[in-house]
């Protein structure tokens, strides 16, 4: 267990202790911005927002806070570190704590796919007992709170997610994280209200890699090299490239091809001029496979053995509301409603088309795609225009952009008006979903739409409490999950057919519509405007529908002790 010393905190922040007993200085184990949720030896950070955290310092002490960090002196029965700016002080402490962590730090960002990539990495690198971002703690408050959870005596790796919604936000996050490996999942049409154009997204995401530690790496798919912000990065570049793609200029190149094995996808991967590998993973969308490739490449870079990766890949399944398939009463529900963007919507629809083949009539339950700015009308209309239709298919469109979807669908002449129903809320749509007698249901929309509330009650309960979930099936409807049993990865490879090359942009979304939360903080759009929960002083970020794991769920060491030491390239 690691403790923060009072003298260090004062030196790092330029603050001054008030009511501190020099003979009995408290050892501080961690920090909280929620006055209601104090752990033993935690300090409460009083932040000013719509409500002033200073007004809740006494409550924090009553709930167990051992110290307070605030912007003025307070008489609350506990030592108070008085600092000029509590937010900056929190970031500064996090930065200094990260610098004394001697093991690798992986930073992850991207327009979508951050959370899925993060959780895959946590699985593949579990032998390092990593500290992993919880839930959606990925913004100016979430990142420092994540870094401050690093136990320098227990963790041998930190996996930190960084989300931004406007230019200028990544710099301070990246400076805190200072990643040894910066993973950028992709660059796409997200947060256009803040970025205006995709080029600005590329510039902002690349800043995570631009702040890499000495001898650090940037890891991303080859198509990002088309952006100057990535091709001109000063750090070392590791690039994932299809096997048949032209040569690329990078320090490390992972080439790959896919093999369709029916229930699973085989992945041939090789390092140019080096080793060759073969892995299997349960079938998933192209965007999710892109995430898996990055996770595998990072695991190899950090010394994970091929056999370890192969075993952990068998455990990987979609996170709740991020591409899972649930069967109920003879219907398949494809549930990918944690978020939506044009890229991920196209990716999800393509996967659903394959997953629902032969299932009979389909229902498309679709909410809007948030934060597209001036492109809102064009992108919704395009998705509607290209929405596939077969006999018996129906559409349930929810929210303010539903009519735009409908316009595109009717203009395509594939859809009839009587097959399309428009609702303003998920509550209104719930009965239509319940009454559908077809074979497959597609559910996707931005977080603000809360489309999961249109699902049957037992599925909704399982999404909110993943430990109690209904039967989940692979996309082909078989009862098996994960890879094929028996044999080494290379033995499983024999006889595989149907090689599929190339990668497409797209992934599960880790982004949301943003907005202002109850505590007056901008919710960054990365995690939804319910991020702050029921604010009382300060509330630590928690979404009741979050996919994030509790401590240790993904990060605990598997205890096998067979991992290589930190063998970084």
Q: What is the pLDDT of residue 336?
A: 87
Angle at 278 between CA 209 and CA 182, to 5 degrees: 5
Q: What is the pLDDT of residue 190?
A: 63
Q: Give the chain's domains with CATH numbers.
A: 6-91 (3.40.1390.10), 101-313 (3.40.1190.10), 324-464 (3.90.190.20)
Which of 170, 141, 145 lies closest to 229, judged by CA? 170
Tokens 């420092």, residue? 144
Helix or strand run (H / E) with residue 397: strand 394-398
Q: What is the pLDDT of residue 263?
A: 84
Which of 284, 296, 255 lies closest to 120, judged by CA? 296
Residue 567 structure tokens: 């063998």
Work out the angle between the directed axes of helices 86-99 and 170-177 (0-180°, nearest 10).
40
Distance (Å, rounded) from C-alpha 535 to C-alpha 512? 20
- pTM comes to 0.76
The answer to whether the CB of 79 falls within 8 A of the CB of 18 is yes
Question: What are the pLDDT tens digits along the chain (569 aa)?
Answer: 679 999 999 999 999 999 998 888 998 999 999 999 999 999 999 999 889 999 999 999 999 999 999 999 999 999 999 999 999 999 999 999 999 999 999 999 998 889 899 999 999 999 999 999 998 899 999 999 999 999 999 999 999 999 888 888 899 999 999 999 999 999 876 665 666 678 788 898 999 999 998 889 999 999 999 999 999 999 999 999 999 999 999 999 999 999 999 889 999 999 998 999 999 999 888 989 999 999 999 999 999 999 999 999 999 887 778 888 888 888 899 998 888 889 889 999 999 998 888 889 999 999 999 888 888 999 999 999 999 999 999 999 999 899 999 999 999 999 999 999 999 989 889 999 999 999 999 999 988 899 999 998 888 887 777 654 444 433 333 333 333 333 333 344 333 333 322 222 233 343 333 332 323 333 333 322 222 222 233 343 333 222 333 322 222 323 323 333 233 22
Q: What is the pLDDT of residue 196?
A: 66
Distance (Å, rounded) from C-alpha 217 to C-alpha 230? 12
The answer to whether the CB of 342 falls within 8 A of the CB of 189 is yes
Distance (Å, rounded) from C-alpha 454 to C-alpha 441? 11
Distance (Å, rounded) from C-alpha 53 to C-alpha 35? 8
In a 3-state reduction of DSSP, which class is residue 233? coil
Residue 363 structure tokens: 């229902």
Distance (Å, rounded) from C-alpha 419 to C-alpha 403? 14
Distance (Å, rounded) from C-alpha 286 to C-alpha 298? 19
């Amino acid at each position: 267990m690691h403790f923060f010393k009072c003298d260090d905190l004062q030196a790092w922040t330029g603050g001054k202790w008030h009511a501190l007993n020099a003979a009995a200085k408290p050892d501080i184990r961690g920090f909280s911005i929620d006055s209601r949720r104090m752990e033993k030896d935690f300090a409460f950070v009083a932040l000013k927002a719509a409500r002033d955290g200073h007004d809740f310092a006494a409550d924090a002490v009553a709930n167990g806070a051992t110290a307070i960090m605030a912007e003025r002196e307070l008489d609350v029965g506990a030592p108070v570190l008085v600092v000029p700016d509590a937010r900056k002080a929190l970031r500064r402490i996090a930065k200094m704590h990260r610098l004394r962590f001697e093991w690798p730090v992986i930073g992850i960002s991207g327009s979508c796919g951050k959370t899925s990539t993060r959780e895959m990495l946590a699985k593949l690198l579990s032998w390092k007992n990593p500290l992993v971002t919880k839930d959606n703690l990925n913004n100016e408050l979430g990142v420092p709170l994540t870094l401050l959870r690093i136990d320098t005596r227990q963790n041998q790796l930190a996996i930190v997610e960084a989300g931004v919604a406007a230019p200028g936000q990544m710099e301070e996050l990246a400076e805190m994280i200072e990643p040894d490996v910066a993973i950028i999942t992709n660059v796409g049409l997200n947060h256009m209200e803040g970025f205006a154009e995709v080029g600005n997204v590329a510039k902002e995401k690349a800043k995570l890699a631009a702040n890499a530690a000495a001898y650090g790496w940037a890891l991303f798919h080859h198509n990002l090299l088309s952006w100057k912000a990535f091709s001109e990065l000063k750090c070392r570049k590791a690039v994932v490239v299809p096997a048949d793609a032209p040569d690329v200029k990078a320090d490390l190149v992972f080439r790959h091809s896919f093999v369709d094995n029916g229930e699973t996808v085989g992945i041939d991967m090789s390092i140019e001029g080096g080793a060759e590998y073969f892995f299997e993973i349960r079938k998933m969308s192209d965007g999710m496979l892109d995430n898996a490739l990055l996770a595998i490449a990072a695991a190899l870079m950090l010394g994970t053995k091929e056999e370890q990766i192969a075993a952990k890949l068998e455990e990987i399944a979609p996170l709740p509301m991020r591409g899972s398939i649930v069967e109920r009463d003879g219907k398949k529900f494809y549930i990918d409603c944690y978020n939506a963007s044009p890229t991920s919507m196209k990716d999800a629809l393509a996967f659903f088309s394959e997953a629902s083949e032969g299932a009979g009539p389909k229902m498309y339950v679709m909410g809007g795609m948030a934060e597209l700015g001036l492109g809102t009308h064009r992108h919704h209309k395009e998705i509607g225009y290209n929405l596939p239709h077969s006999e018996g298919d129906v559409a349930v469109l929810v929210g303010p952009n539903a009519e735009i979807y409908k316009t595109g669908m009717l203009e395509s002449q594939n859809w009839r008006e009587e097959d399309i129903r428009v609702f303003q809320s998920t509550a209104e749509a719930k009965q239509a979903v319940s009454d559908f007698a077809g074979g497959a249901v597609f559910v996707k929309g931005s977080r603000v739409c809360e489309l999961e509330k249109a699902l049957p009650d037992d599925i909704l309960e399982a999404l909110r409490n993943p430990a109690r979930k209904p039967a989940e099936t692979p996309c082909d409807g078989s009862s098996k999950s994960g890879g094929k049993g028996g044999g080494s990865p290379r033995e499983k490879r024999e006889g595989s057919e149907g090689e599929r090359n190339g990668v497409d942009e797209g992934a599960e979304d880790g982004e949301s519509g943003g907005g202002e939360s109850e505590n007056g903080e901008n919710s960054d759009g990365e995690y939804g405007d319910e991020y702050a929960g029921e604010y009382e002083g300060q509330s630590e970020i928690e979404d009741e529908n979050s996919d994030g794991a509790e401590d240790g769920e993904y990060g605990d060491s598997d205890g096998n002790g067979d991992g290589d030491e930190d063998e970084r390239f």
